[in-house]
Structure 1
Amino acid sequence: MLIDASDYSPVRLPPQRAAAAAGSAVAGVVPKQRIAVLSSYSRSLTNFRLELLRRLVEAGHSVLAVGPEQDEDVVRQLAAIGVEFVRSPMSRTGLNPLTDLATLWSYWRLLRSRQIDVVIPYTMKPIVYGGIAARLAGVKRRYFLVTGLGHVYSEAAGKRWVGRRIKQLSVLLYRLALKGAGGVFAYNRADSADIESCRLISDPRALTLVPGSGVDLDHYAFSSPPRGRPVFLLVARLLKDKGIGEYVEAARLVRQQFPEAEFRLLGQFDPSPAAISAETIDGWVKDGSLNYLGETTDVRPHLSDCSVFVLPSYYREGIPRSILEAMSTGRAIVTTDLPGCDETVVDGLNGYLVEPRNAKQLAEAMCRFLRAPSLITDMGLRSRELAQSKFDVHAVNKLLLERMALI
């Protein structure tokens, strides 16, 4: 699906906010705000939000980044750009209501004690519990980054009774959290449509569609694909719904025709019930299906060393940051024809879209590059061009901060 820049222009501001923004523009000064950015995974603050946090500091605001893990590398990187880190406990994958109430209480105490003016949560639990806590704490300016509504909003989940009940609860919680929001930012068209159809927000003018979290085109610089042995790379948390099992099955099919092809997997283990075990990974490595590269804090050398990037996810993604990074470095993409993933690929131009959970179709898409190796370079160039025109992180952050009236 080709992305038109006009799809991501901000919607009209609500009247009261338009007046406030106009007043700031006349004065030429945006008042300093105490801002809290809430995450469900501390490392995501530096992996995915570092440039946004940097822009907030450069705009003169006092910024607090909140995450559940005390990661000293994250603390160090944030401190280097003038952002304070605070740990707030959270179970990212659990459904224990007592644990979630503890998260809500922790957020409320933090927002009250720090006299926060603006709260910016992203991912479901920070949005739900951070949004409710912010309302209770009297934080008037609340902006929400919906980086993906998740599997519960997928068509497949809606076919099951349990899935429908969970979705009903999710809708209720989102409505409580998003009530009175100053802005809600959807990261793909499908999520934007669901936010409207499920009436998660009362004022549709608060909704803005943005092209994902963006990518730093300089940090993820273009490099020519390596010559010689073709290398496919999948970068993801080690979860079943990232399509890793299908990737392995497809790799076995491809190597029946092209035994020289190499398939690599990079990513961290996850505590989720949907996680892939270390024993399973070891088995795939031992039978020669793939090479497991472990995890890293810098994916760039691995992207530079691969021919084609693959993400066969059947998870309800926002717009996958891993794909954007691969596009920026000039890599052709193979991914699934699902919301979020499908917004990164123009089928046949910079890669191929395949059906989710379809290992045979995935294998065929990868074989096309092996039959016509020039596609690796040609489609990689198109990926870089799309990243430049649609997903520049600085343009995305400018859109966000203007919509929030923070610059």
Structure 2
Amino acid sequence: MLTVNAAWNIWNFRKPILKALLAEGHRVTVLAPLDDSVAKLEKLGCRVLPLQMSAKGLNPLEGLRLRRAFLKAFRQERPDIVFSYTIKNNLFGAMAARRCGVPFLPNVTGLGTAFLSGGALQRVAEGLYRHAFRRLPKVFFQNEDDRTLFLSRRLVRAEQTEVLPGSGIDLQHFNAAPYPEGEEIRFLMIARLLRDKGVHEYIEAARMLKGEGARVRFQILGATGSENRTAISREQVAEWEAEGVIDYLGTAPDVRPHIAEAHCVVLPSYREGAPRTLIEAAAMARPLIATDVPGCTAVVDHGVNGFLCEVRSGDSLAEACRRFLSLGEDARRVMGKAGRAKMAADYDEALIVQAYERAMVQMLGRGF
């Protein structure tokens, strides 16, 4: 069984695991809130069961309800093993799995707003992690910084942990794309429109460069109105569009055409697990600009396949954009090719499948 806070997450990011399990004859069930990816998952060969949950907040009552929902599902389905992703599924799924004796393998794909906020909310989150993960034989992380943080806070033990190269990348699907020509440079940010993704800093940098007369376009591709307390409204985005600061591209089922048209992909996030959009863009041989924070630094080698800037600083992001603009076209192409080479060496999806198979052998005595 695979569980996550949105079925589309499994379809978009976990297909290598699904395909490997199904190819070996395993029955795979996805437990997640339903969306328009369900039909595609079922066509692939999965069963999909509905999970009622909210992706935002750590409300104690909602947590108890979610734990009961996991208990019910685990007892009815009796999965041999559960692979879990996203914060609430990891926390309350682990508690339920321990209660009914089901092997459980969480993947810490990011820390979320709770860890970014500090104060009481962070202490609550840490207490939940400490309780939920203490007896698990294996916990996957998507970058070394998150693993180190969990170890420093004594939320896990070193022998439990393993760092994966994100979710892996299909290097054929996200193949290197010809670099776009033209003097007008297109910066592209792909993310849910959340404050914590650095949207406001992106807007600030766009205002600065446009005010300086640079021949640039700043584009944003991603959903508004997310169930997150830092979400940015569609009305706010419309104001930025009317100001002429950004081009809002909405959402897209396939990001590759947008990446192919971009000269540089930007992510000014406050913290990441393994930033999927940067990984996809690098695989397509696009230079990157990102913040010098955990997750982003695992993908961006400063001055090699992109540039790093200070977190929460529109000025620093603008300066990184200026530095990119100062490069010649050949240097930009070289940066893009370096990113592609890094993805081929370190982020091939086959590495993820192998790690999960090793974990299954450790926990069940057999692999895929």
Please say whether Structure 1 and Structure 2 have the same fold, judged by a TM-score greater than 0.5.
yes
Q: For 2:185 and 2:211, how far apart are their aligned partners in 1?
A: 15
Q: Once the 2 structures are TM-superposed, how far is the Cα of residue 296 of structure 1 from its aligned partner?
A: 1.1
Deviation digits for residues 8-53 of structure 1, max 9, x if unmatched?
xxxxxxxxxxxxxxxxxxxxxxxxxxxx111012211111112221
Work out whether 1:320 is the aligned partner of 2:275: yes
Partner of 2:96: 133
Partner of 2:165: 211
Q: For 2:237 and 2:191, how far apart are their aligned partners in 1?
A: 13
AA at the equivalent of 1:85: V
AA at the equivalent of 1:310: V
Q: CA RMSD in A?
A: 1.5
Deviation digits for residues 47-92 of structure 1, max 9, x if unmatched?
1112221112123221111112x21x31122112211111111111
Q: For 2:125 and 2:98, how far apart are their aligned partners in 1?
A: 18
Q: 2:132 aligns with which of 177, 182, 191?
A: 177
Task: Summarize the alignment of residues 7-406 of structure 1 with structure 2, pairs less than 5 Å apart.
Answer: 36-68=1-33, 70-71=34-35, 73-139=36-102, 141-154=103-116, 157=117, 163-201=118-156, 203-228=157-182, 229-269=184-224, 270-314=226-270, 316-374=271-329, 375-405=331-361, 406=367
AA at the equivalent of 2:267: L
Q: For 1:271 and 1:74, how far apart are their aligned partners in 2?
A: 18
Q: For 1:49 and 1:117, how far apart are their aligned partners in 2?
A: 18
Instruction: Give yes or no for contact 1:224–1:377 (8 Å, CA) kept in 2.
Output: no
Deviation digits for residues 297-327 of structure 1, max 9, x if unmatched?
110110011100000011x310101110000
Q: For 2:57 and 2:339, how far apart are their aligned partners in 1?
A: 37
Q: For 2:204 and 2:186, how far apart are their aligned partners in 1?
A: 16
Runs (4+) off by over 6 Å: none
Q: For 1:50 and 1:100, how far apart are their aligned partners in 2?
A: 28
AA at the equivalent of 2:207: R
Q: For 2:244 and 2:45, how far apart are their aligned partners in 1?
A: 46
Q: For 1:171 and 1:96, how far apart are their aligned partners in 2?
A: 14
Q: For 1:194 and 1:46, how far apart are their aligned partners in 2?
A: 29
Q: For 2:273 and 2:58, how far apart are their aligned partners in 1?
A: 22
Q: For 1:358 and 1:373, how far apart are their aligned partners in 2?
A: 26
Q: Once the 2 structures are TM-superposed, how far is the Cα of residue 369 of structure 1 from its aligned partner?
A: 2.4
Q: For 1:190 and 1:387, how far apart are their aligned partners in 2?
A: 19
Task: Give TM-score, length-normalised by structure 2.
Answer: 0.94
Q: For 1:233 and 1:205, how far apart are their aligned partners in 2?
A: 40
Instruction: Give yes or no for contact 2:309–2:316 (8 Å, CA) kept in 1.
Output: yes
AA at the equivalent of 1:293: L
Deviates more, 1:112-121 or 1:231-240: 112-121
Q: Once the 2 structures are TM-superposed, how far is the Cα of residue 399 of structure 1 from its aligned partner?
A: 1.9
Q: Once the 2 structures are TM-superposed, how far is the Cα of residue 258 of structure 1 from its aligned partner?
A: 4.2
Q: Once the 2 structures are TM-superposed, how far is the Cα of residue 199 of structure 1 from its aligned partner?
A: 2.1
The 3-state SS of whatever aligns with 2:37 is helix
Instruction: Give yes or no for contact 1:187–1:212 (8 Å, CA) kept in 2.
Output: yes
Instruction: Give yes or no for contact 2:7–2:38 (8 Å, CA) kept in 1.
Output: no
Q: For 1:271 and 1:191, how far apart are their aligned partners in 2?
A: 23
Q: For 2:18 and 2:127, how far apart are their aligned partners in 1?
A: 30
AA at the equivalent of 1:132: M
Q: Once the 2 structures are TM-superposed, how far is the Cα of residue 185 of structure 1 from its aligned partner?
A: 0.7
Q: For 1:57 and 1:206, how far apart are their aligned partners in 2?
A: 27
Q: Once the 2 structures are TM-superposed, how far is the Cα of residue 256 of structure 1 from its aligned partner?
A: 2.9
Structure 1 pair 280/38, CA: closer, same or farther in 2 (3 Å)?
same
Deviation digits for residues 82-137 of structure 1, max 9, x if unmatched?
11111111111033322222211111101100111201111110011100111112
The 3-state SS of whatever aligns with 1:120 is strand
Task: Give TM-score, length-normalised by structure 1.
Answer: 0.85
What's the % identity of the aligned pairs?
A: 36
Structure 1 pair 94/206, CA: closer, same or farther in 2 (3 Å)?
closer
Equivalences, count? 360
Q: Once the 2 structures are TM-superposed, how far is the Cα of residue 217 of structure 1 from its aligned partner?
A: 0.7
The 3-state SS of whatever aligns with 1:398 is helix
Q: For 1:372 and 1:187, how far apart are their aligned partners in 2?
A: 31
Q: Once the 2 structures are TM-superposed, how far is the Cα of residue 236 of structure 1 from its aligned partner?
A: 0.2
Q: For 2:81 and 2:29, how far apart are their aligned partners in 1?
A: 10
Instruction: Give yes or no for contact 1:258–1:370 (8 Å, CA) kept in 2.
Output: no
Q: For 1:54 and 1:286, how far apart are their aligned partners in 2?
A: 45
Q: For 2:31 and 2:328, how far apart are their aligned partners in 1?
A: 45
Deviates more, 1:333-342 or 1:113-122: 113-122
Q: For 1:166 and 1:371, how far apart are their aligned partners in 2?
A: 43
AA at the equivalent of 1:227: E
